């Protein structure tokens, strides 16, 4: 389905019934990336998935993209759909969108789940190494288009997306994940890569008033336990769960991931003021 929000024609899907739960995908992905979560979560929640600006079937627009831009898009999308309050789960780049929304519009977020938020987004790690990787991806995109990016991303899954040995032991899981990425257009992914080279507006973490859960993979080279602990310190009262996975924890351990999220959301609903 499509709707215009914040001046952008956005692609979205809704499944299930009940309280709203919004899922925000990571960089280069699209709403299809939640294939393990929507069937489970929609049994208890009204689940909204959507393609963020520059991804999937949502518009690729001119100008700079920032986490603030993407958070404004989500805020406008929720208003356009008549959503007054929702629980929000963001993965990787989607986590930064989610945390920005929760800080800027705390009245709209019942509970917050952040999975695999990159250390670079928190000001951690070797910025120079990250910048070189980003520039290399842009150069590859210019030479070979999305086909080259997809191959590079596929070759890199053993060291970044999943834990050691997982790819070799689970080829069907990897094949399923590989079907998601090509839906994003080259011009959109370039805009995303360019945006990730800019420092966005700092998040005012103390303004986050809802229950918050942070999930990271123990073997995640970008968003491991160190990043999780820093994020936990920044968000008052937040919880931290470390799964034995790489970056894509929601794919590698989907059952455990889903149970962790649903348990947290159930507890958050029980503790919510009437």
Domains along the sequence of the chain with CATH: 2-271 (3.40.50.1820)
pLDDT attached to residue 158: 55
pLDDT attached to residue 155: 64
Q: Give the pair of three-digit tokens for residue 193.
A: 């890569």
Strands (E), 16-152: 20-24, 46-50, 86-91, 109-115
Is residue 97 classed exposed, middle or buried when 0-12, 13-18 and 19+ CB atoms within 10 A define those classes? Answer: buried
**22, containing H or E segment:** strand 20-24
Bigger pLDDT: 195 or 54?
A: 54
Number of C-beta neighbours around residue 157 at 10 A: 17
pLDDT attached to residue 120: 62
Could you read off the pLDDT of 133-146 as tens digits, one per residue? 788 888 888 888 77
Q: Pick left, alpha or beta for residue 62 (phi over 0 → left; psi -120 to 50 → alpha; otherwise beta).
A: beta
pTM of the predicted model as reported, rounded to 2 decimal places:
0.94
Query: Across residues 205-214, what is the average pLDDT?
Result: 96
Largest distance between two CA atoms of the chain: 56
Query: Is 87:46 a contact under the CB 8 Å cutoff?
Result: no
pLDDT at 6 over 70: yes
Query: How high is the mean pLDDT of the chain?
Result: 90
Q: Which of 202, 201, 184, 183 is nearest to 193 (CA)?
A: 184
Torsion of CA 241, 67, 75, 203, to 10 degrees: 60
pLDDT-based confidence at residue 194 (cuts at 50, 70, 90): confident
Could you read off the pLDDT of 51-90 as tens digits, one per residue? 999 999 999 999 889 999 999 999 999 999 999 999 999 9
């Amino acid at each position: 389905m499509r709707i215009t929000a914040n001046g952008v024609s956005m692609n979205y899907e809704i499944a299930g019934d009940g309280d709203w739960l919004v899922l925000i995908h990571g960089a280069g992905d699209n709403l299809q990336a939640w294939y393990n979560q929507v069937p489970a979560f929609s049994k208890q929640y009204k689940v909204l998935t959507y393609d963020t600006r520059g991804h999937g079937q949502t518009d690729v627009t001119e100008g700079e993209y920032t986490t603030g831009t993407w958070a404004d898009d989500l805020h406008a999308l929720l208003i356009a759909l008549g959503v007054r309050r929702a629980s929000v789960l963001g993965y990787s780049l989607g986590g930064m969108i989610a945390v920005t929304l929760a800080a800027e519009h705390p009245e709209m977020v019942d509970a917050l789940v952040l999975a695999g938020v990159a250390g670079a987004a928190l000001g951690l790690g070797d910025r120079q190494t990250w910048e070189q990787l980003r520039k290399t991806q842009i150069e590859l995109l210019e030479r070979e288009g999305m086909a080259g990016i997809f191959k590079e991303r596929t070759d890199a899954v053993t060291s970044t997306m999943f834990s050691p040995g997982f790819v070799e032991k689970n080829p069907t899981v990897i094949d399923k994940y590989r079907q998601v990425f090509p839906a994003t257009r080259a011009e959109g992914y370039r805009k995303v890569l360019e945006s990730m080279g800019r420092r966005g507006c700092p998040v005012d973490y103390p303004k986050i008033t809802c229950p918050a859960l942070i999930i990271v993979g123990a073997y995640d080279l970008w968003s491991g336990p160190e990043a999780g602990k820093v994020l936990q310190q920044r968000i008052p009262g937040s919880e931290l769960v470390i799964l034995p996975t790489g970056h894509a924890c929601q794919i590698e351990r989907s059952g455990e991931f889903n149970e962790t999220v649903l348990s947290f959301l159930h507890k958050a609903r029980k503790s919510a003021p009437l």
